Amino acid sequence: LQNYYEAMRLEIDPYDRSYILYNIGLIHTSNGEHTKALEYYFRALERNPFLPQAFNNMAGDSEIAEAWSDQAAEYWKQAIALTPGNYIEAHNWLKITRRFE
């Protein structure tokens, strides 16, 4: 985690910073810190709105944290819109939310 914080300090390119923030979010997710992970995914998307994996993880973390289940569905939809050929993500969304839209 400290290495990613150091990378954030050194990196100036917003696109590259988005991936660093995304990876910090992944670490927080794996540590069970879902609300903190969401913050980093939001920050990553501020710099790179075309990061479908951040939307995927935000949806999953929202469901796990039970913070924003309706918002989680919106994140899944945004991720699928960015990568419509990614049927695995569509399947995950249907499976987790039990919505058939």
Q: Which domain holds residue 73?
A: 2-97
Q: What is the pLDDT of residue 18?
A: 96
Is 59 exposed, middle or buried, given 0-12, 13-18 or 19+ CB atoms closer than 10 A? buried
Structural domain tally of the chain? 1
Q: Are the CB atoms for 8 and 1 separated by under 8 Å?
A: no
Q: What is the pLDDT of residue 75?
A: 72
Q: 32-86 pLDDT, tens per residue?
A: 898 899 899 999 999 999 888 888 888 776 656 565 566 666 776 777 787 777 6
Q: Left (φ > 0), alpha (ψ -120 to 50) or beta: where does 68 sit?
A: beta
Fill in the amino acid letter for 77: K
Global model pTM greater than 0.75: no
CATH of the domain at 17: 1.25.40.10
